[in-house]
Structures are given as structure tokens and as C-alpha cells.
Amino acid sequence: MENLDFARLQMAFTLGFHIIFACIGMVMPFFMVVSHKKWLNTRNPVYLELTKSWQKGVAIFFVTGAVSGTALSFELGMLWPEFMKHAGPIIGMPFSLEGAAFFVEAIALGFYLYGWNKLPEKFHWFTGIIIGISGVASGILVVSANGWMNAPTGFDYIDGQFVNIDPVQAFLNPAWFTQALHMTLAAVVATSFAVAGVHALQVYRNKRPDLHKKAFKIAIIFGAVAAFLQPLSGDLSAKDIAERQPMKLAAMEAHYETGTNVPLYIGGIVDEENQKVTHKIAIPGALSFLAFGDFDAEVKGLKDFPEDEHPPVAIVHYAFQIMVGIGTLLMLAGILYFLSLKYKKLFNKKWYWLLFVVLAPLGFIAVEAGWVVTEVGRQPWIIYGFMKTSEAVTPMPGMEFSFYMYLVVYAVLAVTVTWLMRRQIRVLNAVKE
Amino acid sequence: MLYVVLFFLLFSLLLYVLLGGADFGAGIVELFSSRKNKLTTRNTIYRVMGPVWEANHIWLIILLVILWVAFPVYFNVIMIYLHVPFVLVLLGITMRGVAFIFRHYDAIVDRSQLFYNWMFRISSLVTPVFLGMSFGALIGGKIILTEDDYTGFTFSELYLWPWFNSFTFLVGIFYAVLCAFLAATLLIGETQGKVRKMFSKKSAYFTITLVLLGFILIAYGYIYEVKFIKDFVSNPVSIGAVILSGLLLIPLWRAIKRQNTLGSRYLAGLQVVLVLFAALYAHFPYIIITAEKEVSLLEGLPPQAVIQNLGIMLLIGGGVILPGLFHLMRSFGMIKIFKSGEKEFENN
Ligand code: HDD
Ligand code: HEM
Ligand code: HEM
């Protein structure tokens, strides 16, 4: 492998790491303030305990998100100096606003974590809300920067130079809304199902079920609603891509031959060499319909594009299948939860809790898969249609060492954070048992 | 608007050096505390720095964003040639951040604390050294700009020696000691009695080291003909600022001795402002000095529209953040202006 490949691997790995903590940082504060509110309203000490435990979780995840994010801000420049030289000024607006959002978040977090018994109760609770809102805001802003890479606007490209820059137009690029909506929902889905799963496991093992059922309920309501909306928003994204990045759509669907009334493949093994898909289930006309709302619409296939501009088809296709599969599953799980509100007997069934334990990691797997679709599907472009990834990479050799270092450091961090969470739960369960 | 952007650039640089520095310094002070004082230091740091440490480090991100948006050519150069020390800085920031949170938020207090503590202290020392070395490399005159022709140079020539040499090492140590000095001075005001005495002593001790190192640095630069230092010494304004900071050492020293918290804090901050001002003034805007030429910060500025937009964003952001930050620092006693207001807060 070349330097470029290691740089790409490192970028993918560090982003994939950061996104987990970013999602939790966006959503977990909301769980915390709901529980906190319940404590203020009911003075039921269980809620106070839960709030404080979640608060520790937020602090631990937040710092991991913050340091990995700091690393990312450097990395954009360190790995892709040519990209940043041209793109930096154009997409400066979301990033400078994001800086402000981080600040607000850090300030609010300072107040919240250290404000117990010091600040007026209402104000203290309110700072918790601010953490959540500014977290979501920073997520949306950074995704808008990514949207610009997919749908570059706000400049004229003349003689290899980016001129007549309009930062506002670049910020509000055509991709930002669908991507930001889908990402925000994804963060809610992934975090909610993960948190709900952790607490479901405790209920399943019959460790302080009173407390863990309350925790489960707070988390899963967010998740169930978002999981229901997620496929709808995904459909919006797909239609968007069909217009703007037909090559990405074709790769997602492993769709080689241009045609009308194009079938949708479910599963299937991609043979990139012979440009074929085997072992698939084909639903006639469905792709045409999903992409353009018309069973007879024409969908361009990969063969219509120059071969040296194809993204890695197999990876994108599999990743897309994984995301959509999980999306469907989690939507059904959300519906199951709402059913159980009506049929309360379900709460006494062991399998019910076990099911949510099994679902716990799926949301995050879908998030990672979704980003693979977006980012790998954009290859070989770093700025879609304008700059190739290979033109952007750092001239410094030896990227493999840097990649391996991040691999080791982040693996150790991930293990440590997991271990810390288990200790958190252990302490929570040990009380009054 | 360019001036607004430049103002925020220098402002966030200053605040990162000051606040981020005090934060690193806290770990260094802890590292150099005697065994029985380590716990006291640790708890003081948690109380004082805890609420604000995260905010302190965001100045670095703001700095970075301003650089890449408004000074892309400059940013491009430092990101390519300082790749290696930046990786080390990032590693240090990561270790330090997580160690700080782990040691205070681990649900179970056991032997793993020992590990977190050492990780926190060591990375607190190492990170500012690498930061200082990176800055030293920018002004050290050893960077080789290849103009896109990378053949004919070895890896070490391009990516190692420019930042890894005795000059940059001196700058690194200088910054680390500066951090320790800031932290010790800050902590004086946060403690009482014996502990307070300990921090005053530390602060005095770091002041002396700092002054000594400053002299060594200038002497070294003068003898080995480091262009930056030579220009610095022959620039009347810069030298004036250094002399002023030297004179101000006397009241600072007194304030530390009398354990005057406010006075020593402001004077310490002023020292940093003066030193930074002196260092930047002599060469502004040529902040990268390479083997052949000097790269201006203002080279290859982006179009007016970009600067305009960034300036507005910074003004809005600043308007939202600074009052909040101020309130946070005041609430938790980092800034003491209205002593009475604080009492009220503590009684709450
Ligand atoms: C919990 C996570 C999750 C779930 C259940 C889904 N997605 Fe997704 N998807 C993401 C998480 C995600 C993501 C990680 O958030 C992405 C990556 C970039 C983005 O904006 O969102 C994404 C991207 C993404 C894209 C590419 C957008 C682009 O490149 O601009 C499409 C077309 C879809 N999704 C479509 C779907 C459909 C049809 C789903 C139906 C079930 C679905 N997603 C479920
Ligand atoms: C956090 C969620 C994200 C994940 C998991 C993710 C994932 C990836 C992956 C897998 C790649 C490698 C693609 C390849 O080389 O085949 C990549 C590349 C890249 N991503 Fe993302 N991405 C995320 C968000 C973003 C955002 C928000 C930005 C910019 C603001 C961004 C900027 C880049 C850049 C500059 C590259 C390298 C160039 C390229 O390969 O096109 N990414 N990312
Ligand atoms: C889609 C991808 C991303 C999302 C949704 C996202 C979201 C977030 C969120 C919510 C936080 C707050 C930290 C927390 O609460 O844990 C955060 C932190 C951070 N992110 Fe990301 N991020 C993404 C990608 C990136 C990229 C590409 C960069 C680099 C340019 C970046 C830079 C940062 C930085 C510097 C922080 C630390 C801020 C702090 O200290 O509080 N993020 N991110």
C-alpha cells in the first residue's frame, strides 16, 4: 500500500472513532436532563442517582470526543494540506461557527458538572440543556462542511483556481440539509439503542430493575421515534444523491448497466472485475422508484462513467446494505416498544429485554456503515468533481507509522472507556443491593 | 475586517498560551511536588482548573480554524513541515485530557489512580515542550521549503531536524517552565496557610528558572546566529518590552512574597503578554523563518469575502462566548474582581 492509502485509512479510522463519541456527546446530555428534570419534579432519589451516573458517563465520553476531535482538526491539515489550502477558506464558515458551539458546550459543561449545590437549581438544569443543544449544533455544522465536499458550491473554478468565493453559499450547499437531518437522527438512534441496551442487560440480569427500567424508558423513547423517522430521511438522502452524485448511487446499489425500470438489489455479491452482481434478490423497478419516484425512470449505471472515477463498488454496496438492513430492523424495534406500552405484559418477558441487549451495538454499526457509503462512495474525489484525493495528500512519507500509532492508542482508549463504563454500572448496582 | 481576524488570532494565541499554559503547568507543578504534597496539589488543581480546563483548550481549536480559513498558505506550510511534532503534541493532549477525566470520574478509586496520575503529570510536561519546539521550529530558520520538489532531501532533513535541535529544545523547555510558573502563581490565590506557602515558593522558584532560561535562550541565539533572536535583540521595541518585563519582575516578586493573589496573577499574565509581544513584534508578519526566506503570515490571503465572513463570525462568536466564559471563570473563582460577589456565591 502507498502513503495515500495509509493516510486514507488513518482518516477513516480516526473519524470513525470520533463519530461514536460525537454521537454520544450530542444525545446523552438530553437523557441526562430528562432524568434530572424528573428528579426535580418527583424528588425520587433514583433519578438523582441516575442523573449523576449519566453525568459521569457524559464527562468521560465528552473528553474522549474532545481530544479525538482536536486531533481531527489538526489531521485535516496534516493529512490533506492541499485540500485545506483551497477548501479551508471556502468552508470556513461552518467551522468557525462550530468553534463557537464547542465553546458554548464546554462552558455549559463546566457549569453543569461543577455546579451541583452551587448554582440555583433551575439554572443548573438549564446548563445541561445547553450542552445538548450546542452539541447537536456542532454536529450539524461539521456535517455541513462534509456536505460541501459532496456538493461543492459557493465558488467559481477558473484555470484550476477557486475564485469568487461565497462562504454562505458554500455553507448552505445542496447536501447540507439532507445530510445534517439524517446524521442528527442517526446520532439519536445509535445512542438511544446503545444506552437502552446497556440498561436492558441489567434488567435482564435482574440487577436493580427499578432503576434500570427507568433509564431504559428515557433512552428508548428518543430512539424509537428517531428510528421511525430515519428511513424516511434516508430516502430523502437517496433521492438527493440520485440527482447530484449518480455515481455514488450506482455504487451503493451495485448498478452497472444504465436502463429504465431498474430493479433494486437486496444483498448480492459484487464481482468488480467482471462488473456483475450474483446471488442477489432483485425487486423489479424498485430502484427507479426509490431514486426518482417513478418506476420507469432511467438510472445511470457505473458503466456510463469513466472507470478510473469509479468508487470501490463492493465496499459501498455492502455498507449500504448493512445500513438499510439495520435501519429497517431498528424501526421495527421502535414499533415493538410502542406496542409494549399497550401490552404491558411484554415488559415481564425475558426475551424482550434480551432483544434490546442484542440491538445495542447496531445503531453505531449503521452510523459507521453510513459514513463509509458517503465517504468511500465519493472516491476518488475529495472535493466532488474538482479535486482528487490523491492530489490532496501530504508529501510526507511514512504515514503507515502514524496510522499504526493511532490504531494502538485509540484501541487502548476504547478498551479503557468500556472498562470505565462497566465500573460505573457496577457501582450503580452495588448500591442498596 | 482583516484586523478583526488578526486580533482574534493573536487573542486566542495569547489565551491559549496563558490559560492552556496554566493548565499544562498545573500538571508540571504536581509532578515537581514532594510526595506528601502531591495529593493536595491534585485536589487544588481539580477544584480550580476542573470547571474551565476544557474551555481553555478550545482556544487552540479557534486558533487553528482562524489559521486555515484566513491564512491558508501559512497553514499549509506548518501542517506539512511540522507534521511530526504535531503528532506528538496531539498524543500528549489526548493522554492528558483523558487522564484528567479518568482520575476524577472513575467510579471506583483504586490502584489505577496511580496510573492516571502519572500519565497526567508526564503528559503535562511533555506536551508544552513539544508545543514550544514546534514554535521554535517556525522561527529557528532550519525549515527547508522545497517548492514541491521533494526529491533530493531525506526524511530527516525535511521533517526532523528543523524542529529537533538544541534551539527548539530550549524554546520547548522555556515554554514548559513558563506554564509551570503561570500555574503556581495562579494556585497561590486558591489556597490557604501552608499549602499557599508551598505554591508561593514554587512560583518564586519557577520565576528564577524562567529568567535564567530566557537569558540562555537569547545568548544561544546570539552566539549561533539564529536570525530571529538577532533581529529581536536589535529591535528597540522588542528589547524595550523585555526590559519592561524584567523591571516588572520586582513587583511580581514582591507580590508573590506577600502572597498577594490578585497582584501576582495580573503581573504574571502581563509578563506573558510582554514576552509574546516582544517575540512577535520584531518579526511580524514574518512568522515562519526558513533556511532561505521568510514566509509572511499575510502571504496568499484569501479573497475579501472570506475574511469578511470570518470576521463577522468571530465577532458574533466572541459576543456569545466571552461573557459566558467570564461568568464561568468568575463563578468558580478563577477571576477575582468582585470579592464580595464571590462570597455570596459560596454561600449559595
Ligand atoms: C443509525 C444509523 C443509520 C440508519 C439506521 C440509516 N442511516 Fe443512512 N446514514 C447514516 C446513518 C444511518 C449516517 C452515518 O449518518 C450517514 C453518513 C453521512 C450522513 O449524512 O449520514 C448516512 C448516509 C446515508 C446516505 C448517503 C448520504 C450522502 O452520501 O450524502 C443514504 C442514501 C442513506 N444514508 C440512506 C439510508 C436509508 C435509505 C436508510 C433506511 C433504513 C438509512 N440510511 C438508515
Ligand atoms: C465522523 C464521521 C465520518 C466518518 C466515519 C468518515 C469516514 C471517512 C472514510 C471511511 C474516509 C476514507 C474514504 C476513502 O479514502 O476511501 C474518509 C475520508 C475523508 N473524510 Fe470523512 N468521515 C466522516 C465525516 C467527515 C467530515 C465531517 C469531514 C469534513 C469536514 C470529513 C472529511 C474527510 C476527508 C478530508 C477525507 C479524506 C479524503 C477522502 O478520502 O476523500 N469526513 N472519511
Ligand atoms: C460528522 C462528523 C462529526 C460530528 C457529528 C461531530 C460532532 C462533534 C460533537 C457533538 C462534538 C462535541 C464533543 C462531545 O460532546 O463529545 C465534537 C467534538 C469535536 N469535534 Fe467533531 N464531529 C464530527 C467530525 C469532526 C471533524 C471532521 C472534525 C475536524 C475538523 C471535528 C472536530 C472536533 C473537535 C475539535 C471537537 C472538540 C471540541 C471540544 O473540545 O469540545 N469533528 N464533534
pLDDT digits (tens, 9 = 90+) for A161-179: 887 778 888 888 888 999 9
Residues whose CB is less than 8 angstroms from the CB of residue B45 and which lie 6 or more positions away in sequence, other chains included: B26, B27, B30, B187
CB B286 within 8 A of CB B294: yes
C-alpha cell at A130: 445547553
Please work out, in degrees rounded to the nearest 5, the angle formed at the alpha carbon of residue B295 by the alpha carbons of B290 and B297.
140
Query: Is B339 part of any domain?
Result: no
Which pLDDT does position A364 carry in this prediction?
Answer: 96
Which pLDDT does position B337 carry in this prediction?
Answer: 44
pLDDT digits (tens, 9 = 90+) for B1-25: 888 888 888 888 888 888 888 889 8
Which pLDDT does position A21 carry in this prediction?
Answer: 93
Flag whether residue A398 sits within 8 Å of chain B, measured between CB atoms.
Answer: yes
Which pLDDT does position B340 carry in this prediction?
Answer: 34
CB A49 within 8 A of CB B37: no
Average pLDDT for consecutive 10-residue bins of chain A (433 residues)? 87 94 94 93 90 87 89 91 88 88 88 85 91 93 92 84 82 90 96 94 86 91 94 90 87 82 82 77 82 82 82 89 92 92 81 91 95 91 88 85 91 90 83 56
If you take atom 17 of ligand 3, which residue's CA is the nearest one?
A22
User: Cα separations (Å) of A202 from A208, A357, A425, B272?
Assistant: 7, 9, 9, 53
Query: Is B84 part of any domain?
Result: yes
Range B268-281 average pLDDT: 84
Q: Which residue has the higher pLDDT, B271 or A190?
A: A190
Going from the Cα of A215 to the center of ligand 3, the distance in angstroms, rounded, reads 26
Report residue A394: phi and psi, to 5°: -65, 145
Query: Is B293 part of any domain?
Result: yes
- Is the four-CA dihedral B275, B281, B284, B286 of positive or negative sign? negative
Question: pTM (2 decimals)?
Answer: 0.90
Q: Provide, as residue numbers in chain A, all residues whose Cβ is less than 8 Å from the Cβ of B316.
A: 100
Going from the Cα of A22 to the center of ligand 3, the distance in angstroms, rounded, reads 6
| Mean model confidence pLDDT for chain B | 82
Flag whether residue B1 sits within 8 Å of chain A, measured between CB atoms.
Answer: no
Query: Is B341 part of any domain?
Result: no
Whether B287 has a pLDDT exceeding 80, the answer reads no
Expressed as residue numbers, the domain containing B26 is: 2-146+153-331
By residue count, chain A amounts to 433
Complex ipTM = 0.87
Which pLDDT does position A431 carry in this prediction?
Answer: 64
Query: Is B336 part of any domain?
Result: no
A-B contacts at Cβ under 8 angstroms? 199
3-state SS assignment for residue B275: helix
Please work out whether the CB of residue A321 comes within 6 Å of at least one atom of ligand 1. Answer: no
Range B41-63 average pLDDT: 81
Q: Which ligand is nearest to the CA of A83?
A: 2
Pairing, β A161-163 against β A156-158? antiparallel
Query: Is B64 part of any domain?
Result: yes
Query: How many angstroms separate the CA atoms of A292 and A287, rounded?
Result: 8
Report residue A83: phi and psi, to 5°: -60, -50
Query: How many angstroms separate the CA atoms of B132 and B152, rounded?
Result: 29
Going from the Cα of B169 to the center of ligand 3, the distance in angstroms, rounded, reads 32
Please, which residues bridge with residue A388 across strands?
A381
Q: How many domains does chain B have?
A: 1
The A residues from 127 to 166 touching B (CB cutoff 8 Å) are 163-166
Flag whether residue B57 sits within 8 Å of chain A, measured between CB atoms.
Answer: yes
Which pLDDT does position B339 carry in this prediction?
Answer: 39
User: Cα separations (Å) of A71 from A75, B61, B100, B191, B208?
Assistant: 6, 10, 17, 35, 35
Query: Is B342 part of any domain?
Result: no
B97 with A63: Cβ contact below 8 A: yes
Pairing, β B294-296 against β B286-289? antiparallel
Query: Is B73 part of any domain?
Result: yes
Residue A216: in which H helix or E strand, if any?
Answer: helix A209-244
Task: Write the Ramachandran bin of B251: left for phi over 0, alpha for psi from -120 to 50, otherwise beta.
Answer: alpha
Question: How much of chain B, in percent, has pLDDT values that exceed 90?
Answer: 11
Please work out whether the CB of residue A370 comes within 6 Å of at least one atom of ligand 3. Answer: no
Query: How many angstroms separate the CA atoms of A53 and A57, rounded?
Result: 7
Which pLDDT does position B338 carry in this prediction?
Answer: 38
If you take atom 26 of ligand 1, which residue's CA is the nearest one?
A374
Range B311-333 average pLDDT: 81
